[in-house]
Structure 1
């Protein structure tokens, strides 16, 4: 069945769109995709989101191929410039849900570890490095199950693969992470990392626009094991 990007729409106004990106789909061609026409990306479908405008919307930020959830698009150049400034200045509140192996001992805390590329030829492959860029992640435990914990993660900085590297370095890798965690390269459970909610102060005279994306199906079983209920207010709000 062809991918229907319109069905993924979570929010729409004159400046921006927010879609619920599916796990497993890259947002644009990358080093692995090259220029091969057989590699489907989210960018291939953006024309369907014009909604009467002469040009298609474009991505205001990025999500990894295997991460699901809230993805913001600007509907025109001025909107993209404004959204870009908000993301770059850290004014957009981002909340991710992650199921991690084991879990932290406490109920809340932060991971403050600088990050740098592990291999210059593959800039997306990151490691903890004292000489790298500062990186800060705040975490809070939302629930626990046997051998698992359900975390709300807030990246204060926005480094490549920050949440995945930080969780692994802290001793609780994200379930399904085949790069930094313990999942097999083939046949694993899928990365259990979801961009659950955003708060975007787009309009100066209004409250921040708040958008939440429902948990993806591949995370449901582990979330339930950690105490999640799909019909609870927190599940809907992404908290």
Structure 2
């Protein structure tokens, strides 16, 4: 794995779609970004994750102190992420937000679902980049960081992400061989200097 950025405290990668962030439980799911990176940088530790189907920017800490500092930055929402996605249909409003609580759909794991009684607060902001006949390119900002948040929120808005095998109907899944969701921008404070770092990795779709 070749990092987009590296120093003594952190590493930043552009994860390809189809690669797990961390090893799965089954032997066939051991290959992952974490495993590949740790083979070169043994002190590298995962701070956050991207879905296997999602591509884009992901940061890893080098050593426990950097890991602790970055984890706190994520918890305090001092890390800002922007995704680009292509969704089915034409999104009506130029910008807006989806504020719907999410919880794991246990019988159908890893799927998530909306639950107004016991779901965790979840907020996504969106902005239309471009509209086409049957699809819309959008920028997504997850204010909270729930599992599958962007995928469920876009589905709930009536515009599932193209290629989403969990939440899109078959005809929308069939429009792409991969999930059209990519973590395009990442802003975070450096765990040692506190300097504001900005990274970008354009989507391949």
TM-score, L = length of structure 2: 0.91
Question: Does the CA-based 8 Å contact 1:200-1:209 persist in structure 2?
Answer: yes
Equivalenced residue count is 203
Q: Distance in 2 between matches of 1:214 and 1:187?
A: 21
Structure 1 residues not aligned, in runs of 5+: 220-239
Structure 2 residues not aligned, in runs of 5+: none
Cα deviation, 1:56-82, whole Å, max 9, x if unaligned, reads: 311110000000000100011100001
Rate the CA distance shift 1:203–1:25 in 2: closer, same or farther, 3 A.
closer
Task: Give the 3-state SS of the residue equivalent to 2:137 in structure 1.
Answer: strand
**Does residue 215 in structure 1 map to residue 203 in structure 2?**
yes
Of residues 11, 33, 38 in structure 2, which corresponds to 1:42? Answer: 33
**Does residue 85 in structure 1 map to residue 72 in structure 2?**
yes
Cα deviation, 1:102-122, whole Å, max 9, x if unaligned, reads: 132111110000011122572
In structure 1, the partner of 2:189 is 201
In structure 2, the partner of 1:94 is 81
Question: Does the CA-based 8 Å contact 2:163-2:175 persist in structure 1?
Answer: no
Once superposed, what is the RMSD of the aligned Cα atoms? 2.1
Of residues 5, 12, 16 in structure 2, which corresponds to 1:18? Answer: 12
- Pairing 1:70-149 to 2, within 5 Å after superposition: 70-119=57-106, 122=109, 124-131=110-117, 132-149=119-136
Question: Does the CA-based 8 Å contact 1:177-1:191 persist in structure 2?
Answer: yes
Question: Larger deviation: 152-161 or 36-45?
Answer: 36-45
Rate the CA distance shift 1:183–1:25 in 2: closer, same or farther, 3 A.
farther
Question: Does the CA-based 8 Å contact 2:21-2:49 persist in structure 1?
Answer: yes
Q: Distance in 1 between matches of 2:26 and 2:163?
A: 28
Question: Does the CA-based 8 Å contact 1:99-1:193 persist in structure 2?
Answer: yes
TM-score, L = length of structure 1: 0.78
Cα deviation, 1:72-105, whole Å, max 9, x if unaligned, reads: 0001110000111111121101000000001321
Task: Report the CA distance between 1:13 and its aligned residue.
Answer: 2.1
Question: Does the CA-based 8 Å contact 2:124-2:142 persist in structure 1?
Answer: yes
